[in-house]
Structure 1
Amino acid sequence: MSAVRTVLGDVPPEHLGVCDAHDHLFLGSPQLPGQELRSVPAARAELAAFRELGGGTVVQWTPYGLGRRAADLPPLSRETGVHVVAATGLHQAVHYDEETLGALRGRLAEVFVTELTAGIGTSGVRAGFVKVAGGFHGLDAHARWTMTAAAEAHRATGAPIAVHLELGTGAPDVLELLCGRLGVPPHRVVLGHLNRCPDPVVHRWVAESGCYLAFDGPSRAHHATDQRMPEAVQALAEAGFADRLLLGGDTTTAAARSTGDGPGMPYLLRRLRPRLEAALGTEVVARVLVENPARAFAVDWSPPGEEHR
């Protein structure tokens, strides 16, 4: 039976409720010096504010080595009543030092599978999906390595694969590799950051592939195309792809939190949801926030070694 693997265990997809399909409670990278998301009280405040507005689930896209703080996620979920889905996976090479990457050579898929099935480190928290990343308008050797490992982990567990698209670009290359050469079913792939490159031709093309499209703004760090995001979502919904769409906030820095100077997690429901409901109607927006993420992140979790499609 399909279930979404949360930090408190597997739950039926219909229990997720309203979902922020791409966000971060904790995150640290040398690419964002001084802006690390490390505060447990701040994370709790974000989840509580999201819950107060009707939020039910947050999917954290923070992968291996970037400060996931997996052990802190279960108590936060219990205290706030918000389901949290954790990630395994690996980001772009620039986020890691050579020692970290070298230690993963030859065993990356094994690490992903272990974190999906046994737990992240000693926390006992199991990841619910794999997060990887492409490059600007293409894929480098690091991206191909991580995506190959992600595909292996998918075949072993059925876990969905979520992809950071650099500035929203490179989606055709990602799908060509993951779904073409590596055989991952499109409905098991979530493409993130499509709002950062509001190209309606590419959006339509990737939607036709059957993958999920995550429009995960606004964000203080990536606000240049925020005003185009509702327009892009509306165009895809009206073209018949409402069942492929996901929404998220992608809070990546301390300043972007609602406890800082940014919109934070509450903005998704406080401001963006009403704006989309005015354009698309409450039924379509409910599908995007509730039904679609429940399908996108639900897996028939079987023992490692069994082939998944």
Structure 2
Amino acid sequence: MSRVNTVLGPVPAAELGFVAVHEHVGYGMPGSELDTQWWKTPEQRYAETVPKLRRFREHGGGTFVDVTGICNGRDVDYYKSLSAKTGVHIVACTGFVGGDTALPHFARASVDYLNRQFVHEITVGIGDTGSRAGVIKVGVSRGGRMTELDKRIYRAAARAAVMTGVPILTHLAIDPEPAVAIFEEEGLPLHRVLFGHADDGPNAPNTPHEWIFERGGRIGFDTFGYETELADPPFWARPRRERLEHFLSLVHQGHLDQLLASADANCSPLGWPGVRGHTVNYLFEDLIPDLRDAGVDQATITKLFVDNPADFLTIHS
């Protein structure tokens, strides 16, 4: 039976429903709990998060993939409570958003150590929660080029993916050549990798979509909703129409099977203000209406948000 690890246990892939594949319950940098201006109590975070997940469920959302890595505020016991409270499946990750977010203990670690850490969290559990990671997160450090630490993490992640059958999701799809070389050296088929943030403002021009597609990789347009039209747009924002047309061009070019979409929203940011007015529910309230207005049929929407994520997240044992 095809299955996916969620924080409340494995579920059949067919039961995931509509999937938001690149999201955050709460993301923050190491040390963000020391920020007295933006840090929130657990009660405040809960009060912000539960209504968003409940609305996601009411819209028809089934699964929320939290890709908050080690050292960035991952809290699996909290995720378990949220999942039980709202009825939304939550998938937790192992791995790191990028090498530059890894605390020194991990930054100094060998590939073998990192691999064992990832495999343990996938097959045994994260800490003492009993919950197993369902995806591995890797990334590119600031500057847009993979560092030696990034490469160690990627290699450890590739080995863990091959050993466990869990897929890899990347933060950023820039500088993918070293990543693809590592994946190929470790024997990881590229359809088990989702190259993320291929659509944001600074990085979309630097993402070699066709090159990734040709090698079998998947592309994530997962910053939908971060628009220049916002009252206070972040630096990675992009005009709404421009992103949509870019996405549709790849659909029309025959890449539907290799595309996934998400909003990369924070339910309750950790130690920073976040982006006001942007939530995971952008997918239902804005993106899907935009797709329908552009002539996209329901079968294509189902492919993007149900079938493709289920295929990607399924454990290959």
Shorter-chain TM-score bucket reads: 0.7 to 0.9
Does residue 91 of structure 1 match 2:116? no
Q: How many residues align?
A: 295
Does residue 101 of structure 1 match 2:117? no
Contact map agreement 2:221 2:262 (CA 8 A) in 1 = yes
Summarize the Cα distance change of 1:183–1:106 in structure 2 as closer, same or farther, 3 Å threshold: closer
Inter-partner Cα distance in structure 1 for 2:209 and 2:39: 31
| Alignment counterpart, residue 79 of structure 2, candidates 73, 76, 81 | 73
Moved more, 208-217 or 144-153: 208-217
Q: Which residue of structure 1 aligns with residue 256 of structure 2? A: 242
Summarize the Cα distance change of 1:230–1:110 in structure 2 as closer, same or farther, 3 Å threshold: same
Q: CA deviation at 1:20?
A: 0.6
Q: CA deviation at 1:171?
A: 2.7
* Residue ranges of structure 2 left out of the alignment (5+ in a row): 227-232
Q: CA deviation at 1:96?
A: 3.3
Q: Which residue of structure 1 aligns with residue 2 of structure 2? A: 2
Does residue 27 of structure 1 match 2:27? yes
Moved more, 108-117 or 8-17: 8-17
Q: Which residue of structure 2 aligns with residue 139 of structure 1? A: 146
Does residue 294 of structure 1 match 2:306? no
Summarize the Cα distance change of 1:67–1:137 in structure 2 as closer, same or farther, 3 Å threshold: closer
Moved more, 274-283 or 139-148: 274-283
| Alignment counterpart, residue 264 of structure 1, candidates 276, 279, 290 | 279
Q: CA deviation at 1:172?
A: 3.3
Contact map agreement 1:204 1:236 (CA 8 A) in 2 = no
Q: CA deviation at 1:268?
A: 1.2
Contact map agreement 1:4 1:299 (CA 8 A) in 2 = yes
| Alignment counterpart, residue 181 of structure 1, candidates 172, 182, 185 | 185
* Residue ranges of structure 1 left out of the alignment (5+ in a row): 302-309
Q: Which residue of structure 2 aligns with residue 305 of structure 1? A: none
Q: CA deviation at 1:94?
A: 2.4
Contact map agreement 1:195 1:225 (CA 8 A) in 2 = no
Inter-partner Cα distance in structure 2 for 1:110 and 1:93: 17
Summarize the Cα distance change of 1:226–1:120 in structure 2 as closer, same or farther, 3 Å threshold: farther
Inter-partner Cα distance in structure 1 for 2:210 and 2:129: 41
Inter-partner Cα distance in structure 1 for 2:176 and 2:123: 28
Does residue 124 of structure 1 match 2:130? yes
Contact map agreement 2:111 2:152 (CA 8 A) in 1 = no
Q: Which residue of structure 1 aligns with residue 49 of structure 2? A: 43
Summarize the Cα distance change of 1:36–1:47 in structure 2 as closer, same or farther, 3 Å threshold: farther
Moved more, 278-287 or 143-152: 278-287
Identity of aligned residues (%): 32
Q: CA deviation at 1:271?
A: 0.4
Inter-partner Cα distance in structure 2 for 1:265 and 1:35: 21
Q: Which residue of structure 1 aligns with residue 63 of structure 2? A: 57
Q: CA deviation at 1:23?
A: 0.2
Contact map agreement 2:24 2:68 (CA 8 A) in 1 = yes
**Deviation readout 1:173-202 (Å, 9 max, x if unpaired):** 322322x22221011101100002334982
Contact map agreement 1:195 1:226 (CA 8 A) in 2 = no
Q: Which residue of structure 2 aligns with residue 82 of structure 1? A: 88
TM-score normalised by length of structure 1: 0.87
Q: Which residue of structure 1 aligns with residue 300 of structure 2? A: 284
TM-score normalised by length of structure 2: 0.85
Does residue 224 of structure 1 match 2:229? no
- SS of the aligned residue for 2:74 comes to coil
Inter-partner Cα distance in structure 1 for 2:154 and 2:186: 9
Q: Which residue of structure 2 aligns with residue 306 of structure 1? A: none
Summarize the Cα distance change of 1:273–1:96 in structure 2 as closer, same or farther, 3 Å threshold: same
Contact map agreement 1:57 1:84 (CA 8 A) in 2 = yes
**Deviation readout 1:218-276 (Å, 9 max, x if unpaired):** 2353313554221122111111111111111112463446xxx2221111111011101
Summarize the Cα distance change of 1:213–1:170 in structure 2 as closer, same or farther, 3 Å threshold: same
**Deviation readout 1:114-149 (Å, 9 max, x if unpaired):** 100111101111100110112444321011100110
Moved more, 65-74 or 141-150: 65-74
